[in-house]
Amino acid sequence: MEHRFSLADFAQVNCNVSFTGKNTVEIVSGKEGGKLVLSGQQGRVGGADWSKARFLVFDVHNHETWVMGITLEFWTWMNKTDEPDMRVAFGVMPRLKTRLSFPLEALDSQEMFLERTPGKLKTVVTGNKVRVNEIDRFAIGVFKWPVDQKVEISGLHLTDTEPEYPVPDKILVDKLGQPAVTDWPGKTHSIDELTEYLQAEARKPEPVGFRKGWSAYGGWEDKKFEATGYFRTQHDGNRWWLVDPDGNAFISAGLDCVRPGEAGYVDGIEKLFEWLPPKDGIYSDAWLTGERVGGHDYYNFGVSNLIRVFGSSWWGNWARITKRRLLEWSFNTIGNWSSLDFIRYAKLPYVWPLSGFPTTRRKIFRDFPDVFSSEYNANSATFADQLKAFEGDRYMIGYFLRNEPIWGFVEGLNIAEEVLENEAELDSKEALIKFLSDRYGGDIDRLNRSWNTSFGSFADLKQPIRKATRLSKTAETDLTDFSKILIDRYVRIPSEAVKRVDPYHLNLGMRYAYISSELLYTGCECFDVFSINCYRLDPYSELERVGKATGMPVMIGEFQFGALDRGLMTNGLKAVKSQEDRAAAYQYYMENAASASHCVGAHYFIMNDQAALGRYDGENCQIGCIDVCQMPYKEFVESVSYTNGRIYEIAAGLVEKTGRLVEEVERNAI
């Protein structure tokens, strides 16, 4: 089945359109972002039977020098607003024609991040699930951006077969892993320049330890508590602190992903690179291939640049350079997803992301497992066993149970409602039915009166029920109450399992992306520290809100600032104009975080810039402390060093905050 749409039938919103060929349009989108919108009969927009298709496909030619954000939006017939039920965002590479395909099965919203295809960068699905036979409107659009953006759209069609993904012959990345299409101050222009710089870095002596007044663990020697030999938490009557193993007050200033470079996806886009070496030669350490990474090939130019300079001794030289930099920049914590070999070498405090969070074969929604299943209990016990490898390690602050559960991204999600809608046989559905039967004394007529339903028995609840919270206010209350039970088990069962294996290190929580619902606080008493990732210019209000809601110390697992003035082609989840603004933004953020009475730390994401053509999921942001050639962004790291060095005095209120709030700019892609 194939159905081609006529782009002439689409309404134009906030853009100028010109036809440049058969069913090809050139769109110039303004600052507010532009889109093409097509409306029609539900399930048959454009005259096609959408239920017979599997993919919506179109070609995009990005004429700009930066990555462009492209959107697909879908409305159902019940939705009469301008806000779509679902939005899909794609990143597309610059100066390149890229084929995009959206699998219609993703309309069920079970997956938030879609797999890469050649030429495409990150793809994110947000909003509510959509049924294909209820769609009566869809749109193709361009992200907001400070200046006009030019893009060409062509070949829009529905099909029941996945398309090929042609990639043109065009070099986008040079032999050092840098973007080839632009130049900027600080770009490394030759291997000789790279060699001279890194050899000079390797000759620099390593500091003896942390700055004066800081302990061997990076704690603050001016404020003492009881020493227990491990990191712990303490409230001093005014604010929360971590306490290092020797009893010194500790605020965790961390850096995520401390490792030699970031591996980039190369499958199907090899011709976009000026140079890729054989996989079994002297650069083999730079390759991640095949079964190790889900059948895909990745190349790490950060590693190959080190090999170019240091040969077989590359890792030792990188480790010495990196430990010195962490000490000079006054980072006292090695953050998530860092090299364990480096952690053991550096002997610096660190946090650790546990892997393989317990799941079940059948899930309720996205990655939320069937938490009443015995499988969940058994898998939680297995999950906890990995902590045995860290027994007795005084440098380990604690561990994160997992990172950013994708079920938690949905605003106002009611997990119990998803249990009722799920067609699978779930132990959690049996538990929900028992919960409702108990609440209504086994009287189905009482439930029917409260829910505005006509079930013959409680067993009827085993059949899929859509959007049950809309049946009545009482139904919403009942399902919210059971959602708390589900989330409590989701948190409590693995938390109790890890504490049985390791009662000494801190349970740092789930690292929620953000608080999309008050339900995410459920079970927080199982944690030692509540963690969030906080992508804002100023985290103070969010830290205090979360701290007051939980009564707990709070740690920020991620924040970042990116800009397009140097290097990569995507600016980041929180974007500013320049490296100078990145520097100011870091100071302002960390000073405001440290002054929050519940905050015990914040970790910057990440050490290295991301790969020029994207990591496994397509992110390729200019957010690092250093670029792919190990060159620090001078303005940024000077601010990092200055700010981190004052973290304790800021937290204690002994010095004034001097940071400035910078202007945020639009993200150019997801």
pLDDT on residue 638: 98
How far is Cα 616 from Cα 287, in angstroms, rounded to an integer? 13
pLDDT on residue 20: 83
pLDDT on residue 448: 98
How far is Cα 603 from Cα 605, in angstroms, rounded to an integer? 7
Model confidence at 230, pLDDT cuts 50, 70, 90, reads very high
Place of tokens 């620090």: 632
Give yes or no for residue 293 having a pLDDT over 80: no
Nearest to 570 by CA among 96, 155, 179: 179
Give yes or no for residue 214 having a pLDDT over 70: yes
Answer positive or negative: Cα dihedral of 178, 182, 186, 189: positive
pLDDT on residue 43: 95
pLDDT, one tens digit per residue, over 530-552 is: 999 999 999 999 999 999 999 99
Answer positive or negative: Cα dihedral of 258, 259, 260, 266: negative
- 113-117-122 Cα angle (round to 5): 40
- What number is the average pLDDT over the span 583-608? 98
Domain 2-159 has CATH 2.60.120.430: yes
How buried is residue 80: exposed, middle or buried, by Cβ count under 10 Å (0-12/13-18/19+)?
exposed
pLDDT on residue 670: 78
How far is Cα 222 from Cα 310, in angstroms, rounded to an integer? 42
How far is Cα 667 from Cα 669, in angstroms, rounded to an integer? 5
Give yes or no for residue 4 having a pLDDT over 80: yes
pLDDT on residue 22: 78
pLDDT on residue 502: 98
Q: Which residues of 110-129 are buried (b: 16+ CB within 10 A; e: fewer)?
A: eebebebbbbbbbbbbebbb
Contacts of 20 (CB under 8 A, 6+ apart): 26, 152
Going from N- to C-terminal start, the domains of the chain cover: 2-159, 191-265+314-336+511-651, 368-393+404-500
CATH code of domain 191-265+314-336+511-651: 3.20.20.80
How far is Cα 127 from Cα 73, in angstroms, rounded to an integer? 10
Give the strand pairing for 55-62 and 96-103: antiparallel
- Tell me the average pLDDT of the chain: 96
Give the strand pairing for 252-255 and 599-604: parallel
- What number is the average pLDDT over the span 204-211? 92
Model confidence at 621, pLDDT cuts 50, 70, 90, reads very high
Give yes or no for residue 290 having a pLDDT over 80: no
Give yes or no for residue 291 having a pLDDT over 80: no
List the structure tokens of 224. 């003492």
